Amino acid sequence: MHRIAAHRVGGDVPEFEQFVAERGHGWQRYARALTGNDVAAQDLVQSVLLKAYRQWRRITAMEFPDAYVRRMLTSTFLDGKRRRSDSEVLLAELPEPGPAAPDPAIRVTDRDSLRRALATLSDRQRAVVVLRYLEDLPDAEIAAELGCSEATVRSHAAQGRARFRDALLALDHDRTEESL
């Protein structure tokens, strides 16, 4: 990922760099799903890695340091969304699909629809959906990461799925209308 400065603010630099090298790609993917674009995802990850490096000794003493860093990503994302202006709209970028579609235009159109539908979710709904379906976390871990109850996680997931489904149907309807 990125090279860390050699000063000893937070602890063992090689150990930290190894940790980042092993997990950085996963954090970047997670951040990209939360923020909707690569640049914002890189900014989010770098911001969190700076905080993590400063707290490295404490983080390495934890049972699940990776989960702690992911929670830092989630918290920083949600805090940043509260501070951003309402005029800024980010679209989520979903992971690459498996086998290529026969027609590349269909793949582009489908990805655009998924991004637009995901953008209709509230920040918390998006975080729950990404943690559940991209990171494959159980409700208890999502609740711990977001600082809410499991019932709230299930509520956000249900509402997010419904909103996502409705947005996809509306986009499909609009596309059908345009083609007539």
Kindly report, residue by residue over 153-174, the tens digit of the pLDDT.
999 999 999 999 998 888 877 7
Are 82 and 111 in the same domain? no
CATH classification at residue 133: 1.10.10.10
Are 134 and 62 in the same domain? no
Are 2 and 84 in the same domain? yes
- Average pLDDT on 32-47 reads 90
Residue-number span of the structural domain to which 131 is assigned:
99-180
Burial environment of residue 1 by CB neighbours within 10 A (0 to 12, 13 to 18, 19 or more): middle
Are 71 and 1 in the same domain? yes
> What is the tally of structural domains in the chain?
2
Residue 118, pLDDT above cutoff 50:
yes
| SS3 state of residue 98 | coil
Residue 8, pLDDT above cutoff 70:
no
- What the block records as the tokens of 2 is 């990125």
Are 45 and 112 in the same domain? no
Is the CB of residue 132 less than 8 Å from the CB of residue 140?
A: no
Are 44 and 111 in the same domain? no
Are 57 and 134 in the same domain? no
Is the CB of residue 146 less than 8 Å from the CB of residue 74?
A: yes
Closest among 52, 35, 36 to 1, alpha carbons compared: 52
Return the pLDDT at 87: 45
pTM score, whole prediction: 0.60
Are 174 and 149 in the same domain? yes
| pLDDT tens digits, one per residue of 62-104 | 999 999 999 999 999 988 765 554 445 555 565 555 555 456 6
> Under 8 Å CB-to-CB from 141, ≥6 apart: which residues?
67, 131
Return the pLDDT at 107: 74
Are 61 and 103 in the same domain? no
